[in-house]
Amino acid sequence: MTPAIFGLSGLVLSAEERAFFREADPAGYIIFGRNVENREQLRALTDSLRAIHGRDRLLITIDQEGGRVQRMKPPVWNAYPPGAAFDRLYDIAPASAIEAARANAEALAMDLAEVGITCTHAPVLDVRVEGAHDVIGDRALGHEPMRVAALGRAVLEGLARAGVAGTVKHMPGHGRSACDTHKELPTVTESADLLEIDIAPFRALNDAPSAMTGHLKFTAWDSENPATQSPTIIREIIRGKIGFDGLLMSDDLDMEALSGTVPDRAARALAAGCDIALNCWARMEDMVGICESVPAMSEKTAARLDRALSFTRLDGATGDQAALIAKRDALLALTGEAA
C-alpha cells in the first residue's frame, strides 16, 4: 500500500485513474468541490473507490468543517456554522456550547456517512491568536486552549456517533501564522514556553483517530524545516510532548509553503515521520512521482490506519438529523445571533 492520500479529477473516475489507483493502492482519497454534484453521484463515486480495493473500510476524506471550509454545500446539503459560533456560546454557557458542537458534528457526519465518506479533516484545534493571518480566523474554536480542547472533544464525539473519523489539525499549531500557507511559508519565532499554549489542545486530544501537520516553521524547535518535514518536530513535539500516536498525515503537499517538486515534498514528509502524504490536486504526474519516491507503507503506519478506520462505519447513522440541527440552533440562539 502506498502511504498517500490522493485527489480525484472529477465527478467520476477516469479509466486512467481507475487503473492507477488499482496499481498504486493508496491509503485513501480526498474529496473536493470538483468531485461533488449530488448525493447519488457522490455515493456512486465513493462506492467506485471501494470497488477498486474490494473493501468497505476505506479512508475517504474531505475538508468539511463548516463555515467557509465546506466542500458539500447548500442547497444539496446543510450549511454548518464555523468554529467561532461555538466559541461565542461558550462565553455565556460552556456546557451548552459543548452540546451544540457535539450535535452539529453528528449532523454533519450523517451527511458524510450517507455518501460513503469516512473521515473529515476536523476539528480545527489551532488556538486563535489576535493579529495573526485570517487563514485560521473564525475556523478556530477559541483563543483559550482548554476551551478549544473541550469543544474539539465534542466534535470528535459527534463525528464518531455517526461513524466518521475526525482529523485534528494543524499540529503543532497554526494559530500564530502571519501568512497563508497556501501561498508562502510562515515562520513562528515565539519561545518554546509560549508555544505550550498552541500544543495544549492537541495534547488533550492526543487519542484522536488522525491528525494533520501544518506547513509552518517554528524557530524554537527547528529553524530549518517546516513542521511537516521536520524530524525534530514530529519526533520530539508531536509524538513526544503532545503524545500523539495516531495516523499522522501531512497538510496538502501542493501548498506553496513547501519547496521542491511534489514527489520530493512527499518523500521529505514521510522521512521526517509523517505516516501519510496528502496530495490533493489529482495531477497524474505528481501521483505517479509520489509512488516512485516513497517507500511502501510500514507496519506501524498500517496499524495506525487500521485504528483510524475502526471509528468508521457505513451502516447508516441512527440519529435524527433534523432534531440534532434544531438542538444546535436553539443552543446557538442563546447568543442572540443566528447560527
The catalytic residues are 182, 251
C-alpha dist (Å) from residue 62 to 219, 252, 271, 333: 31, 12, 25, 28
**Residue 322, all three cell numbers:** 433534523
Helices (H) and strands (E) in the chain, counts: 11, 13
139/63 Cα distance (integer angstroms): 12
Query: By the 8 A CB rule, do 170 and 252 touch?
Result: no
Amino acid letter for position 57: R
99/323 Cα distance (integer angstroms): 13
DSSP string of 256-281, one letter each residue: TTS-S-HHHHHHHHHHHT-SBEEE-S
> What are the DSSP E strand ranges found in the chain?
2-7, 26-31, 59-62, 64-66, 69-70, 119-120, 165-171, 187-188, 210-213, 217-218, 222-226, 247-249, 277-279
330/333 Cα distance (integer angstroms): 5
178/129 Cα distance (integer angstroms): 10
Query: By the 8 A CB rule, do 289 and 296 touch?
Result: no
2/88 Cα distance (integer angstroms): 42
Amino acid letter for position 266: A
